[in-house]
Chains A and B, each alone.
Chain A
Amino acid sequence: MFAFDIVLPAVLNGLATGAVYALVALGLTLIYGVLHIVNFAHGSLLMLALYGVYFLYTLLGVDPYLALPIMVPAMFALGYALQRTLIATASHGREDNILLVTLGLSIVIDNLALYLWSADTRTINPSYAYDTVDLGVAILALPKLVSSLGALLATLLLWLLIRRTDLGKAIRALARERRGAELVGIDVAHVFAMSFGIGIACVGAAACLLLPSYYAHPGVGESFVIIAFTIVVLGGMGSFPGALLGGFIIGVTESLGGLFLGENLGRIGVFALFIAILLFRPAGLFGARA
């Protein structure tokens, strides 16, 4: 029905997109794994970061990839502050209230963006936007290749941070046993906020990598949050390798769904997968059953 030479580029494109999806989802899964917060505002914060990169480029002429050292700390600070001020206090620590608080946050961010920046789709055109790379079996857009490699590198750095540093050790301790972590002198509120900040920093990095081949629009968050949740649930809530593999699976699903079902109906693929996973394998591919 479809020739191999059409399907293969679609799969490769899906894998490239999937790497960036995975980075976004890693932030989400870290926040869930440590804080047990289902951060509904994750997509909205990505949208905010995309606008940040966009304005850095258009107003100050900062290249999106060079914006990384600006956006990553900025988003980290935003995440840290959000957790310490708003999320921790407004939810009174109740799990189902947290979801509502982050829902409220996402509504505020999305619609503030709509009000401030209107519903125009904004793209940037750096000189390399239309460069391509011939991989032998298929041709891939250069920004896509760079973004997927960058996302993989960021994932590696994140893994090292969690595995090899004292902060990472504290985060892992807190994820496993809160009371015990408290007893050995870990500052719980601080480490919680650090985890949230790191999760949002992932989003900042993803925005820098995405924008050359993507766009900024107030509705981006809404579509991304479901994609990120699907990946996290697919891989198992809180699982790192799961989020990475889940990212690739969703990237390819979306790409092939678009190819076989068309742009509009193709978007159903991700949602259908999400519902199916929640129903039949809620623990995901890697997670232990809660």
Chain B
Amino acid sequence: MALPLLALAALAALPLLLRSDFWLHFAIMTLYVALLGQSWNLLGGYGGQRSFGHAAFFGTGAYAAAVLQLDLGVNPWACLALAGLAGAAAGALVGALSFRYGLRGSYFALVTLAFAEVFRILADSVPFTGAGVGLQIPLRQSAANFQFPDKAGFYAVILALTALATALAWWVEHSRFGAALVALRENEEAARALGIDVNRTKLRAIALSGGLAGLAGSFYVQYYLYIDPRLAYGVEVSVAALLVPLIGGAGTVFGPLVGALVLRALNEASSRLTGDAPGLNLVLYGALLIAILAFLPDGLVSLGARLRQALRRRAPGHA
């Protein structure tokens, strides 16, 4: 328990070292993507329910935060909590429908994608989301208003949120609920035979996952002060959410953190090299996804164990 807390303290002190806004922005985006990835990881990594439409939950959180503060004048901090609830509700809705009717594997992936697209088209068409124009949050910088004058404030918030998500993943790994979740991932019939309420366990996982995605959505809105249907419900969000844990290691506590760091670093390097050419970043994402599945299906965190195994095989005398 001491080591993670120490790491957290070190990360909290990071803004004191990072004098440049560039690196602070990089750290914020890494943690933000890690939060999104951890959200996917709870459902897809531990539960094996691989969603292709996590944007449905992220976008609902983002729009909940934006609409509540713009139309009803709710304080943005309260909006953060409510966005989490909205994301969880969206997750529960999609989950209740698809798990009740027994959708699994590819079918579940496709139905989540379809939900995200339906939400996107709705957001593009109804008036209170600002339709295609999007919603702009007026600039009123103050900590009470969840609009920090400098990036260090945002860093503290996203660090807290991502730490919460990581702690949640740790809890899942050590709880009865998590054991049930992993059991149904490995073999649903066997899990049911053991007396696990499969649908309820999946439903709790997707609500938890949606809640975290909703928090990420709210953070995004406060950081950029803008949201539109494409940013909220676009395929890019769903792809980032699944790519991060798959690269790092799905179904592990720290996989999403590793994945987020690698992905952001690659992103940064590629936009340096190519000068932000449209699409090229996503080409890299896609190629990376294929490469990881081909060569390292258990993600980067499995690399250590693999290396050790390889070394042991090299030197059979020193077992």
Partner-B contacts on A (CB < 8 A) = 38, 86, 89-92, 95-97, 99-101, 103-108, 110-115, 118-119, 218, 222, 226, 229, 233, 264-265, 267-268, 271-272, 274-275, 278-280, 282
Contact = CB atoms under 8 A, between A and B. Distances in A.
Interface string B265-305: 00000000000011111110111111001100100000000
11 contacts: A97-B293, A99-B106, A99-B109, A100-B242, A100-B246, A101-B294, A104-B286, A112-B283, A115-B278, A222-B235, A278-B110
Given A114-B278, A226-B113, A282-B102, 16 more contacts: A90-B290, A96-B105, A99-B50, A99-B106, A101-B294, A103-B52, A104-B285, A104-B286, A104-B288, A104-B290, A229-B110, A265-B125, A268-B118, A275-B97, A278-B107, A279-B97
Interface string B83-109: 000000000000001100111011101
A205 to B, nearest CB: 25
Given A86-B290, A96-B50, A100-B293, A282 B107 contact: yes
A119 B125 contact: no
B101 A279 contact: yes
Contacts of B235: 222
Contact of B289 (A103, A110, A113, A271): A103
A108 B123 CA distance: 27
A112 to B, nearest CB: 5
Interface in B217-246: 235, 239, 242, 246
Contacts of B105: 95-96, 99
A279 B290 CA distance: 30
B239 A91 contact: no
Interface in B185-235: 235
A90 B110 contact: no
A112 B124 CA distance: 26
Q: What 7 pairs between A and B have smallest CB-CB spacing? A: A107-B286, A114-B279, A104-B289, A111-B279, A108-B286, A90-B294, A111-B282
B13 interface: no
A261 to B, nearest CB: 9
Interface of B is mostly: helix
Interface of A is mostly: helix
Nearest to A97: B293
A108 B243 CA distance: 14
Nearest to A222: B235
A110 B234 CA distance: 14
B114 interface: yes
Contacts, number: 121
B8 interface: no
A274 B124 CA distance: 19
B101 A108 contact: no
B115 interface: yes
A115 B277 CA distance: 7
B121 interface: yes
A103 B246 CA distance: 13
A125 B278 CA distance: 28
A115 B274 CA distance: 11
Contacts of A271: 114, 117-118, 121
A111 B294 contact: no
B168 interface: no
Contacts of B97: 275, 279
A114 B102 CA distance: 37
Contacts of B288: 104
A107 B282 contact: yes
B12 interface: no
A101 B290 contact: yes
A41 to B, nearest CB: 10
